[in-house]
Amino acid sequence: MSLTRLRQQGGAVVLTIPSDIAARAGWSVGTVLDVTADGEAVSIRPTGRVARGRKTLAQLLAGIDECEIRDFNEAVSDGLNDTPQGRESI
């Protein structure tokens, strides 16, 4: 059992979900959650949960971080487009 505390952030009351619980539920930063109340009980569920491998092209493209892709491409480049550094011949 994990305990958490409600806190004030601007005009909202914020509930922090422990990271181990979020990970077990398959939630990550940006997951949209549906919060409903029934008496004193509160239910939190993801809205429109999409099974792994069942995303649309638009959903996949929305998750791309262009800076991360650019950094990755630079890190794995083989240097063939670089200017010569010495007397090598290509």
pLDDT exceeds 90 at position 82: no
pLDDT value, residue 52: 67
- Say what the pLDDT of residue 7 is: 92
Look up the pTM and report it. Answer: 0.45
Q: Is 45 exposed, middle or buried (0-12, 13-18, 19+ CB in 10 A)?
A: exposed
Choose among 26, 6, 24: nearest CA to 16: 6
Please provide the average confidence, as pLDDT, over all residues in the chain: 84
CB < 8 Å & 24+ apart, contacts of 61-65? none
Mean pLDDT, residues 37-49 taken together: 87
Residue 16 has pLDDT above 80, yes or no: yes
